[in-house]
Structure 1
């Protein structure tokens, strides 16, 4: 073929080369047990595919066989902390229970290399832990590869479930602090732009919970992982000149909460007496803090099983954990709030 070097060889090219239909090519290359193909025809198709260097899509081949192969997890430019690492561990185990293998790749929309990755891996499904460019999204859809998104694709059911799980974290934080008598709450955001999406969801959850309980709008300050700058945020919450001082803070995550505790110590203050603090994630150091950190733990295993089921369901298979919801959180009460 004159242009075979300039574009990917397709099953149509193989069919023309072998003098058979595309369906016959599919039956032969997928070893479909339901079809009886004469041996000389089967050999002609295989020889044509070899001459053209045709590589059938693993996604199509695996789905046609009714079995499974690879799931690609596209991880954006996030810091790989305790929670992300645990989620990937659970996701790997969850897809393995479906007979799948998880392949994780760090990929940024800015890199322009996402299409190269999924084309090389040719997965039966993609878990997208962040945004995709319009070009990548369109190309993945055109290739028939099913994608499950965590934070984008607002119109999808999995999107809504995963977002709701993030907001539920904040609602549990607010309910605990309000139950302890705090009325003026703060929200400690992050100054890491890579985490802006998660931080915004959790802030939305705090705002919604405060509104539901008749509490004032939370006072928001970003808290860097630096004791001196965290101390500045603490002073801003405690010395508000425009109204009631903040007495308790919902932190974006445990690391941010630990920074607040460090800021309090820098000022000679303590939690919860001078400022109550509650985090998110229950990282190992949370229980070792001074004072031990109250926090909210998200059920990462449930989230992983939910994602694995969504991949299998999207690819036309049967979910293994049909009743699993990613909206499962647990309050861990210690001494900081």
Structure 2
């Protein structure tokens, strides 16, 4: 179907069809004609082509999201959906591509769609970013890292998460542990959250947190718990990277016949569905991913429009949801 088909069926000119479907300003078109054009276009299944729209507004409406090699579950999946919705409110289409270990070179991907902007969740090479800009990609932004070799703060900081965990536990515990995930590819996020725990420990005069990798396996997790409890200065409270790792710590405690928080307090991050069902129910840090998504969309749109944007991280309201584990 083409605009000529719509014009013929609706009994109007192709120019009128273009004006109506593209909401062209300063065109005096009767409301009855507008309704007839829209109804005809809907009946015929016609929509203006992306190429024509790009020519009209001077840029693509696509934002290419680059995902590192991270598990897409829980919070990350929700953030992607909320980003899609937030960008759609600005007439932008969010397309996601996994850039981790891709069989197709990244350059082929963005060249094929010529996006208006690229939003990467992790780091990517400055040379790639420069190539994008040279090819006309107007905005290249990184969320949880930076464009490598460019000195700029991340758009979203993970430090406050670890800080919130440590402050909650430090009210009753003076020797903290940190439960890291058994996934090296999450290093960017782990390092930043752990920095938050370390800074609070230093601020309060507590020892450095005892950092251990906790696999998602009951027996392996039990070994880590045993190590924490057998230390010269036993760990009594653990900040876990996320709820999955926190649940592994709880499983390790149960395997040893122990229980949180009496033997070891545990706090997670994300409030996944299983957190409330754990034994005991898991205390966790809750993030406002809706605020993050809207903040990212706002900065991206403002940058596209040539406006000045803040350099500090987007504010991510956090709250500690207190349950029985800590």
| Bucket of the pairwise TM-score, normalised by the shorter protein | 0.7 to 0.9
Report whether the alignment pairs 1:94 with 2:86. yes
**1:327 Cα deviation after fit:** 2.5
Alignment gaps of 5+ in structure 2: 1-23, 26-49
1:134 and 1:161, CA in 2 relative to 1: closer, same or farther beyond 3 A?
closer
Q: Any conservation in 1 of the 2:129–2:147 contact (CA below 8 Å)? A: no
Report whether the alignment pairs 1:294 with 2:283. yes
Q: Which residue matches 1:221?
A: 212
Measure, in 1, the Cα distance between the counterparts of 2:188 and 2:90: 30
| DSSP 3-state at the match of 2:154 | helix
Alignment of 1:200-215 (within 5 A): 200-215=191-206
1:191 and 1:273, CA in 2 relative to 1: closer, same or farther beyond 3 A?
same
Q: Any conservation in 2 of the 1:148–1:307 contact (CA below 8 Å)? A: no
Count of aligned pairs: 275
Q: Any conservation in 2 of the 1:306–1:325 contact (CA below 8 Å)? A: yes
Q: Any conservation in 1 of the 2:156–2:314 contact (CA below 8 Å)? A: no
**1:96 Cα deviation after fit:** 0.8
Superposition RMSD on alpha carbons, in Å? 2.8
Q: Any conservation in 1 of the 2:67–2:121 contact (CA below 8 Å)? A: yes
Report whether the alignment pairs 1:73 with 2:62. no
Report whether the alignment pairs 1:274 with 2:302. no
Q: Note the alpha carbon deviations across 1:124-152, whole angstroms, 9 max, x for none.
A: 11110112234422211212311110112
TM-score, with length taken from structure 2 = 0.78
**1:319 Cα deviation after fit:** 9.6
1:101 and 1:110, CA in 2 relative to 1: closer, same or farther beyond 3 A?
closer
Alignment gaps of 5+ in structure 1: 1-31, 34-55
Q: Note the alpha carbon deviations across 1:239-268, whole angstroms, 9 max, x for none.
A: 01xx31000000000000000000001111
Report whether the alignment pairs 1:306 with 2:299. no
Measure, in 1, the Cα distance between the counterparts of 2:74 and 2:286: 12
Report whether the alignment pairs 1:149 with 2:138. no
| DSSP 3-state at the match of 2:156 | helix
**1:324 Cα deviation after fit:** 10
**1:60 Cα deviation after fit:** 7.2
Measure, in 1, the Cα distance between the counterparts of 2:165 and 2:102: 35
| DSSP 3-state at the match of 2:300 | helix
Of 243, 246, 251, 1:262 maps to 251
| DSSP 3-state at the match of 2:58 | helix
Q: Any conservation in 1 of the 2:156–2:313 contact (CA below 8 Å)? A: no
Q: Any conservation in 2 of the 1:225–1:259 contact (CA below 8 Å)? A: yes
Of 157, 165, 171, 2:163 maps to 171
| DSSP 3-state at the match of 1:236 | helix
Q: Which residue matches 1:5?
A: none
**1:285 Cα deviation after fit:** 0.7
Q: Any conservation in 2 of the 1:62–1:124 contact (CA below 8 Å)? A: no
Report whether the alignment pairs 1:328 with 2:317. yes
Q: Which residue matches 2:189?
A: 198
Q: Any conservation in 2 of the 1:76–1:129 contact (CA below 8 Å)? A: yes
| DSSP 3-state at the match of 1:77 | coil
1:82 and 1:89, CA in 2 relative to 1: closer, same or farther beyond 3 A?
same
1:89 and 1:110, CA in 2 relative to 1: closer, same or farther beyond 3 A?
closer
Report whether the alignment pairs 1:160 with 2:151. no
